[in-house]
Amino acid sequence: MELRADLHLHTWERERFIAYDAQGMIDRAARSGFHVLSITNHDTVTFSARLQDYARERDILLIPGVEATIEGKHVLLYNIDVPLERIETFADLRRLRRPEWLVAAPHPFFPGSICLRDRLLQEIDLFDAIEFSHFYTRRIDFNRPAVRLAKEAGLPLLGTSDSHVIRQFGTTYSLIEGSPTVESVLGAIRKGQVRVESRPLTLRECAGIFREMVVADYRERARSLGSRAVTVSERTSRIREDSRV
């Protein structure tokens, strides 16, 4: 069975500027014909039996996942069974990882200090797959070195949308040959029974995605600062009232 999957998604539960929560993401994916998802919020496992049941009711397999920060670098971890706090270094990951886990390198050669880049070469034996990111155009494509490395290392490419805004979803995803169980899906990826479905974005689409993320983040920060200012003002008023008594 060929399963349509996106295993790199972000939601409101961790990033407050995102307009949809995990259930909203699942609903959108179900309408779009997806079979497998993983919500991989930053340093937060957004997964529960309730959410798993919610996805199952919509014929979607939800795989536990997280985009962890390890020594300042982003790493996608799936199906882990230890507290994330125990994985602070690559040495920790090497010591704790189990065969049931899947470890993938997200956007490894994109600009930014959180991208693995040379560290991926140093730790390549830790990784089961390399991400093919949605964010590229015909002329600007930071996926190219990832594609070359995957071929050289004999690792599969995993197509994902890394969605932070809904327009990213569906632009790049994976087709996985397997059954709709966690073990089958992750096992198929390890065996290379996965192919990337993707199309380049236009420059206008890239600019629109970037602008939407920046504006949403700015609004959320402003809202948060406003809430804090109100709280401080209320506390100050109470102190003044108490001092008069």
Domain residue spans of the chain: 2-201, 202-245
Contact 105, 162 (CB under 8 A): no
pLDDT score, position 179: 98
How many whole angstroms separate alpha carbon 18 and alpha carbon 10?
Answer: 8
pLDDT score, position 219: 79
How many whole angstroms separate alpha carbon 159 and alpha carbon 132?
Answer: 5
Q: Residue 114 — φ and ψ, nearest 5°?
A: -80, -10
- Residues facing 175 on adjacent strands: 4, 195
Number of Cα atoms under 13 Å in the Cβ half of residue 122: 7
pLDDT by residue, tens only, the chain of 245 residues: 999 999 999 999 998 889 999 999 999 999 999 999 999 999 999 999 999 999 999 999 999 999 999 999 999 999 999 999 999 999 999 999 999 999 999 999 999 999 999 999 999 999 999 999 999 999 999 999 999 999 999 999 999 999 999 999 999 999 999 999 999 999 999 999 999 999 999 999 999 998 988 888 787 788 777 655 445 455 555 545 555 54
3-state SS string for 53-87: HHHHCCCCEECCEEEEEECCEEEEEECCCCCHHHC
pLDDT score, position 228: 57
pLDDT score, position 229: 47
Contact 76, 131 (CB under 8 A): yes
Give me the CATH topology for the region 2-201: TIM Barrel (3.20.20)
